[in-house]
Chains A and B, each alone.
Chain A
């Protein structure tokens, strides 16, 4: 009798954290680097989700819930990224509006 394989638990999305007081020029990754890394991670999640969905359509023995979970993960990560970007843009705009 073949062993029952459990589902892979969904991998948590880790956004790199920069805990600690902000010190100008104190080293550590710049925001640009963090954003780039996060975009890469989200892109990776989306590519995985697409690949799994395609394999399901092609008739390979992929479970529907696997497809569903990966799609949702990728979607949530993407939405989170977009929100973060929007917040950054509006913060920038607010700073630009400040009278000198």
Chain B
């Protein structure tokens, strides 16, 4: 197979090159005629996802169990692999919860990610603060059917975040760059 660069247009300047690779994907593009507007690929994909959704509760359940196991493993031995496993479990929940239909869980998982990610010496993280996060995630999931679940989740997460931020600011008081990150909002809209 010929190398891709062999069919690229290259323009060289003083300290850089601008390369225009051949667009091999161009053949997949077509202009839709106005009378073909009924076919909506996004709607088709959303329908396919909706058909998968009966699985989501059990998936969320298994992710919460994984988080719980990671918490117990970390309690048994505060090693880097165990710490990373807890972070990944929380990070996955942060990213998946809304897709699985449990958006109110994501913020508590995000707070745990921040706690692990921004503490310079991880062994100084209070174990009870980790437990409070894991228990909060599991409790919000368990009680999700309650009519006031979202309000309770919001209040619980707000308090967790306050305690976590207080801890992180104390741990990073000599690291202005990290302090700036902690105070910066996410650039992704809510």
- A and B from one assembly? no
